[in-house]
Amino acid sequence: MQLTDSQPCTLYTGISKEKLIESVYIMIKNDYGGKATTKCLENKMDDIGKRKIRYAIKHLTKEGKIKRVRGFGPKGVQYHYEIV
């Protein structure tokens, strides 16, 4: 089955890629004060899945809406994402 222009491309039942990307961006912005780690997002949105959340993060990074920042955490070097 191939997708046509009339069919929305969904990552999982009911949510389009654009909606997923937007929800991850809003969650970073509002729930975490502009800074969030991948693990925080995965724990908060555990019903979606790691691959889909990482897809959204990759897409937001490419668009330039968020950036990856290196910092120090309890277990050494830890990366988090910030709103640009």
Q: Residue 1 domain-assigned?
A: no
**pLDDT tens, 24-82?**
999 999 988 889 998 889 888 888 888 999 999 999 999 999 999 998 888 889 899 99
pLDDT confidence of 5, banded at 50, 70, 90?
very low
Q: Residue 34 domain-assigned?
A: yes
Q: Residue 47 domain-assigned?
A: yes
Q: Residue 17 domain-assigned?
A: yes
Q: Residue 57 domain-assigned?
A: yes
Query: Which helix (H) or strand (E) segment is 83 a member of?
Result: strand 76-83
What's 38's domain CATH number? 1.10.10.10
Alpha carbons 61 and 65: distance in angstroms, whole number:
6
> CB-based contacts of 79: which residues, under 8 Å, 6+ apart?
37, 38, 68, 69, 70, 71
Q: Residue 3 domain-assigned?
A: no
H runs (alpha helix) in 4-82: 17-26, 38-44, 50-63
Domain that holds residue 41: 10-83
Instruction: Give how many domains the chain has, as a whole number.
Output: 1
Q: Output the pTM of the full model.
A: 0.75
